[in-house]
Amino acid sequence: MNFHVMTLFPEMIMQGLSSSILGRALERGLISLNAVNIRDYTLDKHKRVDDYPYGGGAGMVMSVDPVVRCYRAIFSEITRKGGQKEKKVRVIYLTPQGKTFTQEMAKELAEEEDLIFLCGHYEGIDERAIEMVVTEQISIGDYVLTGGELPVMVMIDAISRLVPGVLNNGNSAEFETFHDHLLEYPQYTRPEVYEGREVPEILLSGHHAKIEEWRRKQSILRTKEARPDLLGRAVQEGCLNKREMTFWRELEQGWE
Ligand code: SAM
């Protein structure tokens, strides 16, 4: 998976993603990260990349030309490397106005070979740049940040851990929060007792089937508590087995 990021702050992206699991994935060549400075593509002699908004209003707007030229340079590099004349590459603009990013979207994007991201700054980007290069707009949540750099790092992190080989344990991305629309069960590690708080006995029993059943029930309980909307989807989409459905019905009727 090759990530290409158009940004005014490439060092932020490179530093932010070069440690820990992603750092190792980069070293092992499982993912690549190409943060490109949009400022390198301005023709302005003072290297300006923004200007006042037409019609007035607060703040500055990123200009169309450096963004389009930056995109074209990245796109031709991708097609040159792939030895292709034309190739469809998805270009994602990070914006609070986009569709909210989800685990499902991360899974789908992890199937791509190349992804191009566009980070805005200031008051945003000249609309024509969005019309000309962007294929989809994604938000990381209903709040406004100063730039698209943190959002793109969030997205790259979430997508990368779904790329085969990035996580050591192949199961760990599969059976965790949002799998089957459930939140993950509580986790414990040593010591067995900490300041009087004990690890649930079942987890020490070595009885794998019972542990699995306990964990699924805990997941259902947690999801009901914190995200009843998700639990509704789990039920609707048939993600719970017969026993779990009985448990869910009991919970709905107020028994625990
Ligand atoms: N004026 C814009 C608006 O009201 O929609 C907001 C611009 S914001 C201050 C600057 C840049 O930060 C945006 O162009 C976008 O790239 C990024 N950004 C801010 N909040 C975001 C969010 N929740 N998700 C994704 N990107 C975000």
pLDDT at 83: 72
> How close is the Cα of 95 to the center of ligand 1, in Å?
4
Q: pLDDT class for 134, splitting at 50, 70, 90?
A: very high
- Of residues 75, 71, 60, 61, the one with CA closest to residue 93: 71
> How close is the Cα of 49 to the center of ligand 1, in Å?
17
Ligand 1, residue 143: give the atom nearest the CA: 23
Assess whether pLDDT exceeds 70 at residue 172: no
Mind listing the pLDDT tens digit for each residue in 85-102?
677 999 999 999 999 999
The C-alpha atoms of residue 211 and residue 194 are separated, in whole angstroms, by 21
pLDDT at 85: 65
- CA-proximal residue: ligand 1, atom 22 (nearest): 96
- Of residues 153, 113, 148, 122, the one with CA closest to residue 134: 148
The C-alpha atoms of residue 157 and residue 176 are separated, in whole angstroms, by 16
> How close is the Cα of 125 to the center of ligand 1, in Å?
9
Assess whether pLDDT exceeds 70 at residue 170: no
Mind listing the pLDDT tens digit for each residue in 9-50?
999 999 999 999 999 999 999 999 999 999 999 999 999 999
Both tokens of residue 180? Answer: 């089957």
Assess whether pLDDT exceeds 90 at residue 222: yes
Assess whether pLDDT exceeds 60 at residue 256: no
Ligand 1, residue 62: give the atom nearest the CA: 14
Ligand 1, residue 122: give the atom nearest the CA: 10
- CA-proximal residue: ligand 1, atom 26 (nearest): 95
Q: Judge if pTM exceeds 0.85.
A: yes
- CA-proximal residue: ligand 1, atom 24 (nearest): 139
> How close is the Cα of 145 to the center of ligand 1, in Å?
6
pLDDT at 168: 79
> How close is the Cα of 87 to the center of ligand 1, in Å?
28
